Chains A and B, each alone.
Chain A
């Protein structure tokens, strides 16, 4: 079945550690996105990528980094510079480079900093 796979589902991190969240899609989608969700707030865009080897900052990119070496993969690294990293992270993808396609989401990764 085609879809988006995020891993791990749950992750615990000590302060000062970098962690990488995986996002893989087999939908042959061009565009991929990372969102952060906090209680009582709408999803906020961290980074997005519309093509391999290219990505753009979203609204809350500070303390995060991404790469897009392959079309199907868009990993997110939460660095120690992110002041409040405990959150639920969602990866999404969309077919095509224009702003018209339906979004497909993964199941999310919940990061807790101890």
Chain B
């Protein structure tokens, strides 16, 4: 079983829809990252959170440490949101900085 599981693997939505991508993990973590990978391959960090909720524009990320679960929400989705969204967790302490990555959720938003 993967330590970081994302669902769904693929998601197709119509422009304007509210989107939710889920991430569940099985290890103790110190932080969780949500990343966006563009079709060209470059990755942008969207959020880094260790508790509660963060919001940036139309994006909202939440985390429930007790349930080992995080969600990424996109409100009023737009075709430019089409990308692969990756959840990554930082497990444990220390200075190694290693992350455990999910396999990603491929989102396609149709106009």
List the interface of chain A (C-beta within 8 A of B).
31, 33, 40-45, 48, 50, 56, 58-59, 88, 90, 92, 94, 97-100, 102-108, 110
For residue B51, CB closer than 8 A to chain A, the reply is no
- The answer to whether A103 touches B99, judged by C-beta atoms less than 8 angstroms apart, is yes
Taking CB atoms, residues of chain A closer than 8 Å to B76 are: none
Interface string of B61-73 (1 = CB under 8 A from A): 0000000000000
Across the interface, B98 reaches (CB within 8 A) one of A48, A98, A104, namely A48
Give CA–CA (A44, B103) in the complex, Å: 11
| A99 adjacent to B30 (CB under 8 Å) | yes
- Number of A-B residue pairs having CB atoms within 8 Å of each other in the complex: 66
Also in contact, A48 and B41, with CB within 8 A (given A42-B4, A103-B33): no
Distance (whole angstroms) from the CB of B63 to the closest CB of chain A? 16
Within 8 Å CB of B88, what residues of A? 42-43
With both chains docked as a complex, state the minimum distance between the C-beta of B40 and any C-beta of chain A, in angstroms. 7
Shortest Cβ gap from B100 to chain A (Å): 7
Separation in Å of the A50 CB from the closest CB of chain B?
A: 6
Given A42-B86, A108-B41, A110-B41, CB of A99 within 8 Å of CB of B102 = no
B30 to chain A: closest residue by CB? A99
> In the complex, A103→B45 CA distance in Å?
7
Once the chains bind, are B31 and A105 in contact (CB under 8 Å)?
no
- The interface residues of chain B lying within 8 Å CB-to-CB of A44 are 101
Which residues on A sit within 8 Å (CB–CB) of B103?
40-42
The reply to whether the CB of B94 lies closer than 8 angstroms to some CB of chain A is yes
A102–B48 CA distance with the chains assembled, in angstroms: 7
Q: In the complex, which residues of chain B have a beta carbon less than 8 angstroms from the beta carbon of A98?
A: 95
**Shortest beta-carbon distance, A8 to chain B, in Å?**
13
- Lowest 4 CB-CB distances: which A-B pairs, in order? A42-B101, A105-B43, A108-B41, A107-B42
Of the residues A41, A43, A94, contact of B97 by C-beta under 8 Å: A94
